[in-house]
Amino acid sequence: MKDIWKIFKELVKSWPVMQRIARYNNDQTYRENYLGDFWHFADPLLQIGIMVLMFAIRNGGDKGNPHATGLAGYIAWIALGMVTYFFMQSAMRKSAKSIQSQVNILSRMKFSLSAIPMTEIITELRRYFVMLGIAFFAILFMNVKPSIYWLQFFYYFFAMMVFLYALSLVTSTITVLVPDFYNAYAAILRVGMWISGVIIPVDSPNFPLLLSNALKLNPLYYIIQGFRETLLENPIWFWHNITANLLFWGIVLILLTVGAHIHMRFRNRFMDFV
């Protein structure tokens, strides 16, 4: 807990610098391109559009999905899931390699190394909010009316950010210590969409119960399903599922404890490993 508290204080202290670095990263990514920020959103938009076209038309009337009604409901359901997953996937991938790629530069500044992974996560937020805005428009266009349940969007957003940072502390440190780890981690992220309930509802009646229960342990499923239960049909308050909440925050606490410990133990030697 001592390591966690120290890292929390470093994050608060480094917050203004993290925001400036995130803005700089966004400005520099496509600076040399004529269309600039267009390319920042074109790739995820294209992938989401293709997935929606392929799966929504094929499965729009699938009665095995208890969360979506008809083609319009399925489009909103899959679009919200994919926007959330693409953000998390990109944030997890970049934050895992953040210390390894930036330690040489940032170690010369008065900047806490524990804040580097969070900087990468913040950098991805601009694209996420734009994509989320498009998903919101799709939801409203499909006759899903706003409700008081939408307020718990902020709970799931907070849960997502804490989870991403806790995981990034672990992965960014291991990537420095064991470079081969990143390749395996990136491969897992490429298949993560298929085991996180993004496209196929893992709680469908057609799904084997044992496999369904195992996949629900995935923290990504908790977050994606939470956003869907908040914004789409059949909304429920997050505290109604005590078991899922305990499992998710238990995993986050374990990741945060382990990540803080190994980060504090090895960060003075990061330069030796890079």
Q: Residue 31: which pLDDT band, with cuts at 50, 70 and 90?
A: low
Q: Over range 150-154, report the average pLDDT.
A: 91
127 within 8 A of 87, measured Cβ to Cβ = yes
Query: 152 in helix, strand or coil?
Result: helix
Q: What is the pLDDT of residue 105?
A: 63
DSSP 199: S
CA distance 37 to 28: 10
Flag whether pLDDT at 214 surpasses 80: yes
When mean pLDDT is compared over 132-141, 165-174, 263-272, the highest value belongs to: 165-174
Range of the domain at 94: 2-273
182 within 8 A of 96, measured Cβ to Cβ = yes
Q: Residue 181: which pLDDT band, with cuts at 50, 70 and 90?
A: very high
CA distance 235 to 226: 9
The token duo for 175 is: 């990537």
CA distance 51 to 48: 5
Q: Residue 137: which pLDDT band, with cuts at 50, 70 and 90?
A: confident
99 within 8 A of 106, measured Cβ to Cβ = no
Q: Which of 158, 157, 162, 115 is nearest to 9 (CA)?
A: 115
Pick the range with the lowest mean pLDDT from 41-55, 72-86, 121-135.
Answer: 41-55
The amino acid sitting at 274 is: V
pTM of the model: 0.86
CA distance 139 to 146: 9
The token duo for 27 is: 């400005």
Q: Residue 223: which pLDDT band, with cuts at 50, 70 and 90?
A: very high
Phi-psi region of 208 (alpha: psi -120 to 50; beta: other; left: phi over 0): beta
Q: Which residues contact 120 (CB under 8 A, 6 or more apart)?
A: 25, 91, 94, 95, 98, 168
Report how many domains make up the chain.
1
Q: What is the pLDDT of residue 272?
A: 60
DSSP 1-69: -HHHHHHHHHHHHHHHHHHHHHHHHHHHHTTTSTTTTHHHHHHHHHHHHHHIIIIIHHHTT-TT-TT--
